[in-house]
Homo-oligomer: A and B are copies of this chain.
Amino acid sequence: MKHGGDLTQAMAEFGGAADEWLDLSTGINPWPWPMRKLPDSAWQRLPSRADEQALLAAARSAYRVPDGAGIVAANGTQALIQLLPRLATDGAVAIVGPTYSEHSAAWSDAGHPIAAIGNLAELPAHVTHAVIVNPNNPDGRIVEPDRLVEIAVVLQRRGGWLVIDEAFADVESGISAVASCGKLPVVILRSFGKFYGLAGIRLGFAITTPDLAHRIHALLGPWAVSGPALYVGTKALNDAPWAMQTRVRLAAQAIKLDGVLLKAGFDVVGGTSLYRFARHPAALALHRRLAQKRIWCRSFDWSRDMLRFGLPHDAEALDRLAAALAP
């Protein structure tokens, strides 16, 4: 499957209604930020500039954006992934992979040659831009901010950009390279929906130089972000205590998930506390067996022995996974 989080394919192939499935195919927090009733105006009115400014102020605080950097909100990080390659100067892009497939698709569609590399040390001399997902999806590999700054300096000399997709960076403070934004040609992408457990709301951010943030905003046009996303995003990003508790809770659940996987013969080789990346010689057969029991995890077309598991949301779901994996 191309993406996690869509049971359409699972149900077509294996049957069952959506609510019978345990969906572990995503990296979305299973305990969403607690929604309150939205004011009617969030639905009915066009989003105002004041609403947008309040959201960006909350995001600046939550993501520790330095004063000299620009920030722009979009209807999901995906919208920004689609758009960035069309704003970039011509030239090849190195993409550190295997990783989330949409980066490569978007740069390729926009006419940039792609150089697939395994890590930043392999950065080819001919590329102008580079894209890294950090922590990486699916393996969780983390590159330190200092190393990313070195690469950004190299790309700056080539007139290019370093795009850092921090879709899963909320889970640990200290991962983010945000401090380098504004001074270097770095574009950081932050996803709201994954850590806050509200992927349906469609909200993401680009943090970069003020000039590029302005160009992205102009290309998105007015009202790119919905009223509900502005309202909920502002409240949730300002809720620092929730974020702190959630980091701890996710980490604890990830340890429990690892326990289930280890017991079933998996070797847990990486991931973040929003998903675990695990090896098993019979991975594809297990993927199928789980699907027959209405549990959907992620397999990859580039590997026969790796699976990715999102977090089961409670003890019952953990037990259901354990039972389905038992020989």
Contacts and interface: CB of A to CB of B under 8 A. Distances in A.
A6 interface: yes
A198 B44 CA distance: 4
A61 to B, nearest CB: 21
Contact of A197 (B3, B44, B221): B44
B3 A26 contact: no
Contacts of A6: 46, 48-49
B78 A223 contact: yes
B50 A43 contact: no
Q: How many copies does the complex hold?
A: 2
Contacts of A89: none
Nearest to A50: B8
Nearest to A35: B43
Contact of A46 (B26, B42, B47, B102): B26
A43 B226 CA distance: 13
A46 B5 contact: yes
Contacts of A7: 48
Interface residues of A, number: 52
A200 B78 contact: no
A221 B79 contact: yes
A203 to B, nearest CB: 9
Interface string A1-13: 0011111100000
B78 A3 contact: no
A109 interface: yes
Given A6-B49, A44-B197, A75 B78 contact: no
A15 interface: no
Contacts of A193: 46
A3 B222 contact: yes
25 contacts: A3-B46, A5-B45, A5-B46, A6-B49, A7-B48, A8-B50, A44-B197, A45-B200, A46-B193, A46-B200, A75-B75, A75-B79, A75-B202, A78-B221, A78-B223, A79-B220, A79-B224, A81-B221, A82-B219, A102-B222, A106-B221, A200-B228, A201-B226, A201-B227, A228-B228
Interface of A: 3-8, 18, 23, 26, 28, 32, 35, 40-50, 75-76, 78-79, 81-82, 86, 102, 106, 109, 193, 197-202, 218-229
